[in-house]
Structure 1
Amino acid sequence: MPEPTPNSSTTSRLNKRMAELGLCSRREADDWIARGWVKVNGAIAPMGLQVAPDARIEVDPKARGQQREQVTVLLHKPMGYVSGQAEDGYQPAVVLFQARNRWQDDRSPHRFAPAQLKGLAPAGRLDIDSTGLLVLTQDGRVARQLIGEDSGMEKEYLVRVEYGAVTNGVQAAFPPAQIARLRHGLSLDGQALKPAKVDWQNPEQLRFVLTEGKKRQIRRMCELVGLRVVGLKRVRIGRIHLGNLPVGQWRYLAPGERF
């Protein structure tokens, strides 16, 4: 009697399942499968394999060794740099990942090597006219944690605003009901935004904590309630704070540090 065909409604592609289990990214999984580094139920897995939820997945130690060499970089992005690919004559932030820009107080045991640029990509956006914490990583697990479909990672921003002609004492002039709308009640691109934490840090500056990242989200939220953003800085992602990292410099995510 022929073997029963796996039910596609209860199985998933092996690379997707490996990403769901936090083993690696889908792209990384494809590389490992192509190298013969992945076994499913004791057999070397072919590309495109569908697996059941209870499938036993084993990864060759060579893959773990490769993963340990991957780096994650925390950069204090200046204004005038784009997060991803170069555009409109502006350089990508990754060009700042050079030995001379490493923060002198970085205590990570990692040594800078040009090979670390391979596959180093931003895990999230930070607008060209915004500054602050930008994460660059070779590690698909980190990228998925920060920007995956199911990510609810908190990101904290300090946002300097003006209200009409008011540039000083904005807090006193701005209606409290509009702060409530910033916290919950706005929509962008036809979709309701998730609740946000929004509070005054000082009379001209708001503190935003978001768990989503639509394009230019904070600037567009502020426009909807009559505020104009004149300065925006990201100071935290999850448990990682920008801290005293100088503008234009970077450090490695240290062993043991977690988002």
Structure 2
Amino acid sequence: MEPTRLNKYLVDAGVCSRREADRLMEEGRITVDGRRAVLGQKVTGNEKIFVDRKPVKKPESIERVYIAYHKPVGIICTSDPKAKDNIIEAVNYPDGRIFHIGRLDVASSGLILLTNDGDIVNAILRAEGQHEKEYIVKVDKDITDEMVTSLRNGVHIGDDRPTLPAKIMKMGARMFSITIVEGRNRQIRRMCEAVGLNVESLKRIRVMGIKLDDIPPGKWRFLTEQETSALKAALV
């Protein structure tokens, strides 16, 4: 094969995203033919490549998998094997490396997608602001109509711009669903704080057309062929 950047090769091999590959190189956790890999390095696929002392399979030998996981509260969205309660160990996928698409903070629960298809990860990250994510939120006070209007129209959460319009549906005095297309750090918690609410629980129930449904906390399932096809089609 023609020489390709090592970070792209690791994406194709289902090891991690390009960003994660660069981080692993900077931390000295990738070697090529026994030598520490460097940013921008190219490989042909004939080298002996190791990540965290584990050999990397050639991309053409990798079967792509797509997983929906119900992340419980307390699990951390990181692929760092040294981190306690990291999501990769929690999922415990038995056949090769996978990595998570996006994040949920440690105090939140719900749907997380995982895959060994780095192209899908990069496509979703590039499409930030275009695809819906839906959550169920419980708060510490009664929700007023004014609060709903503010959350729906967009609020300032300390960044340089207000949040984009959101879909809001009240489900009770202190519970509502919210659908957003952004993914800023702790966005929904910060949105609630902006209107005087504190989040007591936060669960993601949908990513694009993929739903959490009845997956028990801590369990996962493979996406159906229909879900996988729809996911890929939405990212074209």
Aligned-residue sequence identity (percent) comes to 31
- Provide the aligned C-alpha RMSD in A: 3.2
2:149 corresponds in structure 1 to 180
Conservation of the 8 A alpha-carbon contact between 1:82 and 1:93: yes
> Structure 1 183/83 Cα, relative in aligned 2: closer, same or farther at 3 Å?
same
Conservation of the 8 A alpha-carbon contact between 2:91 and 2:218: no
Structure 1: tracts of 5 or more residues without a match: 1-13, 19-23, 37-61, 99-111, 164-169
Alignment of 1:196-207 (within 5 A): 196-207=166-177
User: Which of 130, 133, 136 matches 2:111?
Assistant: 133
Counterpart AA for 1:97: V
Structure 2: tracts of 5 or more residues without a match: 9-13, 22-39, 47-57, 232-236
> Structure 1 34/190 Cα, relative in aligned 2: closer, same or farther at 3 Å?
same
1:157 corresponds in structure 2 to 135
> Structure 1 210/185 Cα, relative in aligned 2: closer, same or farther at 3 Å?
closer
> Structure 1 97/152 Cα, relative in aligned 2: closer, same or farther at 3 Å?
same
User: Which of 214, 221, 224 matches 2:184?
Assistant: 214
Q: Which secondary structure state, in structure 2, belongs to the residue aligned with residue 132 of structure 1?
A: strand
Q: CA–CA distance in 2 between the matches of 1:192 and 1:34?
A: 46
Greater mean alpha carbon deviation, residues 183-192 or residues 69-78: 183-192
Tell me the TM-score normalized by structure 1.
0.62
User: Which of 73, 76, 83 matches 2:77?
Assistant: 83
1:235 corresponds in structure 2 to 205
User: Offset of 1:161 from its aligned partner?
Assistant: 0.8
> Structure 1 138/182 Cα, relative in aligned 2: closer, same or farther at 3 Å?
same
Q: CA–CA distance in 2 between the matches of 1:216 and 1:154?
A: 16
User: Offset of 1:86 from its aligned partner?
Assistant: 5.2
Tell me the TM-score normalized by structure 2.
0.68
User: Which of 70, 74, 87 matches 2:68?
Assistant: 74
Deviations 1:70-128 (A, max 9, x none): 21211100011111145996411111223xxxxxxxxxxxxx6432xx2x111111010
Alignment of 1:1-259 (within 5 A): 27=18, 34-35=44-45, 65-66=60-61, 69-85=63-79, 90-98=84-92, 113-115=94-96, 118=97, 120-150=98-128, 152-163=130-141, 170-171=142-143, 174=144, 176-188=145-157, 189-257=159-227, 258-259=230-231
Q: CA–CA distance in 2 between the matches of 1:140 and 1:203?
A: 42
Between Structure 1 and Structure 2, whose CA radius of gyration is higher?
Answer: 1
Deviations 1:170-221 (A, max 9, x none): 24xx2x1221111123123222211111120222211010101001100000
Conservation of the 8 A alpha-carbon contact between 2:128 and 2:181: no
